[in-house]
Structure 1
């Protein structure tokens, strides 16, 4: 048993495993594994699953398939096109999933000093090995401390202008706004959680648990976070929700995050 997602020494325990994949999703994962080998071959050093499928909490017809690949070199446009085609084929073929997404990074970037407490932590703690070497063997163990909080989510102030632009460019329909509500809800709940993570002293990927942990320290925002957690699972297309995120919750959170943990180290991209 893990206490708040930590092992017996207080480090964040790796979540997920191939053994936890629900039976209904095993054919999807098997197909993904085979196609990754066919498409990327020697370009790829590692492939991982992450998200609800390897955690065993995926819902048939509602959850997506999340993959991360470590490539020998920096991803090219050709690599990205191949990944998009792979995602589209899996989504079209398997009704069990509601979309697929593949993240591409070079092995060097994932193991770089700059990414040790962001992408490195993500691979070591939130990703389940599917193919190739496990880069976690070359990464440290992680505690739920302020450095981890800063380097994972301390860039919200930079993201908010991009979010506003995405909202402005989206079609004025429920269908177009729903993915934005889902994405921004999840991102804000996770950022709110990592704000209080060192005080809570643990890790969880459950949005509702994240919202409750946050609400214990910021009760004046607790109801707002509970609603955001619910929308992360069952999004609406309400434009007022999106505006509240970029005009109220987001700016407040960015300022409070910088005050408590500082700002994430700049990235080239």
Structure 2
């Protein structure tokens, strides 16, 4: 299957009009190569023959990671369904890598079973995530068993058509944040999710893909200029989180509810499914629920 990285300028599509896989091991910045090598070796040692595949995603394989600011995002797929002990082991792996390497600001790992990733229910969410946003690190590439993807309404619905479910959880997290650091963590999570949802709302009309939050906000603003500034602001604080409870309240009480309703009207609501159980911190840009 052709997973060409040749893209049309500014659209994130390959020469056939499908979303091109972003990132590659060749793009990993030199400063992050020791982290990636350690992660690869330790994941393999941890799971051995049970490991189906492992992937990088996010800023590190895209080549945009910032030293001391970016986290390392991993997807680990087992041949069988992971259990509680597996997630505990991955928690320990995350903590060890984070403590050892100053280049990264945390590690986030999704731990899943092969059957779920390749299930029909997940074809346009986890499947798309693997095929388009993940860079193979270990094992077989499950993208070979998945379709190619266009930036259409089905993809929009199944990736971000569940925003309404997040709003009550975000309100609880804002209320429970104990200090400024806690508020900044919530700010990073919520703002990124809002920007990505705003972008995928208009993605089918724009006809392309990008993972750059600033570009996502600008594309969205072309179609909804009246909401452009809040989403541009969310893109800014996604990169430089702030401890601003009032701003977060505006996201959960104004921007989020409008966006959820507009999204449902445009694309429908995502098919119900079990949430992705993740270890440690939520990896940015993954299908994991906050």
Q: Common fold, TM-score beyond 0.5?
A: yes
Whole-Å separation in 2 of the counterparts to 1:248 and 1:42: 49
* 2:145 corresponds to 1:138: yes
* 2:122 corresponds to 1:109: no
Whole-Å separation in 2 of the counterparts to 1:176 and 1:133: 38
* 2:174 corresponds to 1:162: no
Q: Tell me by how many angstroms 1:268 deviates.
A: 3.1
Counterpart of 2:194? 188
Note the 1:1-269 alignment, pairs <5 A. 1-3=6-8, 4-171=11-178, 173-269=179-275
Aligned residue for 2:184, secondary structure, equals helix
Q: Tell me by how many angstroms 1:241 deviates.
A: 1.4
Whole-Å separation in 1 of the counterparts to 2:82 and 2:236: 35
Q: Which runs of 4+ in 1 moved over 3 A?
A: none
Aligned residue for 1:9, secondary structure, equals coil
**What is the RMSD of the two structures over their aligned residues, measured on CA atoms?**
0.8
Q: In the TM superposition, what whole-angstrom CA distance separates every residue of 1:140-176 from its partner, at most 9, and x where no partner exists?
A: 00000000000000000111111111222221x2111
Aligned residue for 1:194, secondary structure, equals helix
Matched residues, number? 268
Whole-Å separation in 1 of the counterparts to 2:194 and 2:107: 21
Question: After the TM superposition, which of the residue ranges 118-127 and 42-51 deviates more from structure 2?
Answer: 42-51
Q: Tell me by how many angstroms 1:253 deviates.
A: 0.4
Gaps of 5+ in 1: none
Q: Tell me by how many angstroms 1:266 deviates.
A: 0.5
Whole-Å separation in 1 of the counterparts to 2:74 and 2:181: 25
Whole-Å separation in 2 of the counterparts to 1:63 and 1:133: 27
What's the TM-score once normalised by structure 1's chain length? 0.98
Aligned residue for 1:69, secondary structure, equals strand
Q: Tell me by how many angstroms 1:106 deviates.
A: 0.7
Q: Tell me by how many angstroms 1:39 deviates.
A: 1.0
Whole-Å separation in 2 of the counterparts to 1:168 and 1:224: 21
Q: Tell me by how many angstroms 1:43 deviates.
A: 2.2
Q: Tell me by how many angstroms 1:38 deviates.
A: 1.0
Aligned residue for 1:205, secondary structure, equals coil
Question: After the TM superposition, which of the residue ranges 63-72 and 156-165 deviates more from structure 2?
Answer: 156-165
Q: Tell me by how many angstroms 1:210 deviates.
A: 0.1
Question: After the TM superposition, which of the residue ranges 50-59 and 237-246 deviates more from structure 2?
Answer: 237-246
Aligned residue for 1:114, secondary structure, equals helix
Counterpart of 2:285? none
Whole-Å separation in 1 of the counterparts to 2:249 and 2:208: 31
Whole-Å separation in 2 of the counterparts to 1:176 and 1:218: 31
